[in-house]
Chain A
Amino acid sequence: ETGVTQSPTHLIKTRGQQVTLRCSSQSGHNTVSWYQQALGQGPQFIFQYYREEENGRGNFPPRFSGLQFPNYSSELNVNALELDDSALYLCASSSGYADTQYFGPGTRLTVL
């Protein structure tokens, strides 16, 4: 069984740029949730994708968007990057939208 994977591991961007982060869900999982973890804090829920549809969203602006593909992998896109977007971005997959979430290793995004 393959665990949750994310790419890239690290990314450096400048303010105003756009970024795409990728997540491959664990085998057999159809749900992906994305979280933002600022340094020294707990993860904050961005949104959840279930069977290729965004089915829930946290308190993040529309410049945070996503996709889920037929193989249940997912992308997180962030437009018009701001300095405060610097964080560890985690995705978690689960076998259903209400089931236990297993996290990937994260992508460390630095915005300069």
Chain B
Amino acid sequence: GENVEQHPSTLSVQEGDSAVIKCTYSDSASNYFPWYKQELGKRPQLIIDIRSNVGEKKDQRIAVTLNKTAKHFSLHITETQPEDSAVYFCAASITTGGYNKLIFGAGTRLAVHP
């Protein structure tokens, strides 16, 4: 079946440390992997994404890596800041039968302490 597992469910770091969130997907047809940040009471906001023909992508303090063989992808945040505190969701995109859907992980609650 279609499933995305996300770990850890909660992550607490000190300001300036790095944070890593890992996801595993089940459907080998998945070809696009976005990451969303959701602050309390707000919309999921796209922060970075990666397509299946790329192994790594970086945008300032945020990077994503993809291992298609192992069906793993990870989010790396360096030099964390208190404003990085939020729930982060990974997702795997499946395009089938003329439509596209995102399968989300259960989320990681990141707390960055000053």
Which A residues form the contact surface with B (CB < 8 A)?
4, 33, 35, 40-45, 48, 50, 55-56, 58, 90, 92, 94, 97-106
CB-CB under 8 A from B103, the residues of chain A are 45
**Distance A101 CA – B93 CA, assembled complex (angstroms):** 10
**Distance A30 CA – B45 CA, assembled complex (angstroms):** 20
**Distance A103 CA – B100 CA, assembled complex (angstroms):** 15
**Distance A47 CA – B114 CA, assembled complex (angstroms):** 41
Additional pairs, 6, CB under 8 Å, beyond known A40-B107, A94-B100, A97-B100: A48-B100, A56-B96, A90-B44, A97-B95, A101-B34, A101-B46
Q: Contact between A33 and B101 (Cβ–Cβ < 8 Å)?
A: yes
**Distance A33 CA – B96 CA, assembled complex (angstroms):** 14
Indicate the member of B49, B93, B98 with the most A CB atoms within 10 Å: B98
Q: Contact between A106 and B43 (Cβ–Cβ < 8 Å)?
A: yes
CB-CB under 8 A from B61, the residues of chain A are none
Which B residues form the contact surface with A (CB < 8 A)?
4, 6, 32, 34, 36, 42-46, 49, 89, 91, 93, 95-107
List, sorted by A's number, 23 A–B pairs whose CB atoms are closer than 8 Å. A33-B101, A35-B102, A40-B107, A41-B106, A41-B107, A42-B4, A43-B89, A43-B104, A44-B104, A48-B100, A50-B98, A56-B98, A56-B100, A94-B100, A97-B95, A98-B93, A100-B34, A102-B46, A103-B36, A103-B46, A104-B43, A105-B42, A105-B43
Q: With both chains docked as a complex, state the minimum distance between the C-beta of B75 and any C-beta of chain A, in angstroms.
A: 14
Q: Contact between B34 and A42 (Cβ–Cβ < 8 Å)?
A: no
* Residue in A closest to B45 when the chains form the complex, CB atoms: A103
CB-CB under 8 A from A100, the residues of chain B are 34, 46, 49
